[in-house]
């Protein structure tokens, strides 16, 4: 601890898909003060933040910066992502992981997690797991030792106006393109349709190589502007067993499709 005292912790639970774990210590003889939790909806680009951690083993180091982006998806286990993550230029280095990212009021808005760098050192692009995901996962880890993420069974991308003509869509449309529907998943059982008609995109780094799939424009009436919006909504507001209503555009017609979510598979 910050006063130099030490204690032995026991592992309570882990969740690889959110990159979070809970450890427990005996509080006897300590005057612990819980952190205050912030609100992700109040986080804005340009807001000042501070990160606390043990970079390179240097315990109790604090670095400062700003929120440089919000709503990022960062890699998790296998092909899954952690959505709605916070990007910051506060120096995040190996050893900062697990420490809090604090707003100007000293409230925790995220847990430091990753850096974007070719040399495993700070390059001004660090990421924190957002507090809403922490608030959902941690109680389950304490109660059950694990956490079940909601699962829909699609992969996709964000519709860019640059791609609209090639996809035969209105450039003013926004939404999440369904590019692949995995077999025997909630999306498959609900009848979501993936693109199958091959295209030769002028900008392959942005535009998909198939068209004809569903375009998700809303989830439970919440507008969808990107594929990350779908992931973030599922992680923040749903659980396995819930049913979400997707609004999709298919061949020029809008459809309301209910999808019964299951737990994310282990492989």
pLDDT tens-place string over residues 31-65: 888 999 999 999 999 999 999 999 888 888 999 99
Residues 131-167: pLDDT tens digits? Answer: 999 999 999 999 999 999 999 999 999 999 999 999 9
The closest of 74, 124, 126, 69 to 95, measured between CA atoms, is: 126
Query: Would you state the pLDDT for residue 21?
Result: 96
Which residues, other chains included, contact 181 with Cβ-Cβ below 8 Å and sequence gap of 6+? Answer: 153, 154, 187, 188, 192, 193, 194
Mean pLDDT of 218-231: 97
Q: Which two tokens stand for residue 172?
A: 């003013």
The closest of 136, 46, 137 to 86, measured between CA atoms, is: 46
> Mean pLDDT of all residues in the chain?
93
| DSSP tag of 244 | E
The pTM of the full predicted model, rounded to 2 decimals, is 0.89
Which residues, other chains included, contact 92 with Cβ-Cβ below 8 Å and sequence gap of 6+? Answer: 51, 53, 55, 63, 112, 114, 115, 122, 126, 127, 128
Residues 94-126: pLDDT tens digits? Answer: 888 999 999 999 999 999 999 887 666 667 789
């Amino acid at each position: 601890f910050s006063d130099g005292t030490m204690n032995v912790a026991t592992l309570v639970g882990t969740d690889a898909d959110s990159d979070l774990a809970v450890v427990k210590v005996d509080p006897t003889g300590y005057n612990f003060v819980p952190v205050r939790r912030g609100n992700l909806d109040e986080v804005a680009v340009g807001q000042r933040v501070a990160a606390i951690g043990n970079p390179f083993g240097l315990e109790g180091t604090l670095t400062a910066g700003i929120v440089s982006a919000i709503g990022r998806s960062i890699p998790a286990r296998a092909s899954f992502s952690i959505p709605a993550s916070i990007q910051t230029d506060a120096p995040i280095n190996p050893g900062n992981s697990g420490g809090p990212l604090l707003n100007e009021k000293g409230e925790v808005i995220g847990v430091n997690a990753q850096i974007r760098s070719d040399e495993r050192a700070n390059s001004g692009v660090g990421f924190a797991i957002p507090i809403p995901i922490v608030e959902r996962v941690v109680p389950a880890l304490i109660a059950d030792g694990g956490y079940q993420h909601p699962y829909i069974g699609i992969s996709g991308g964000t519709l860019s106006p640059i791609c609209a003509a090639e996809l035969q869509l209105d450039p003013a449309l926004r939404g999440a393109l369904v590019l692949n529907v995995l077999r025997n998943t909630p999306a498959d059982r609900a009848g979501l349709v993936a693109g199958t008609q091959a295209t030769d995109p002028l900008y392959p780094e942005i535009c998909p190589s198939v068209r004809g799939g569903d375009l998700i424009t809303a989830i439970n009436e919440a507008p969808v502007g990107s594929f990350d919006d779908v992931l973030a909504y599922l992680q923040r507001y749903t659980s396995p067993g819930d049913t979400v209503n997707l609004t999709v555009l298919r061949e020029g017609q809008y459809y309301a499709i209910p999808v019964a979510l299951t737990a994310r598979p282990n492989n």
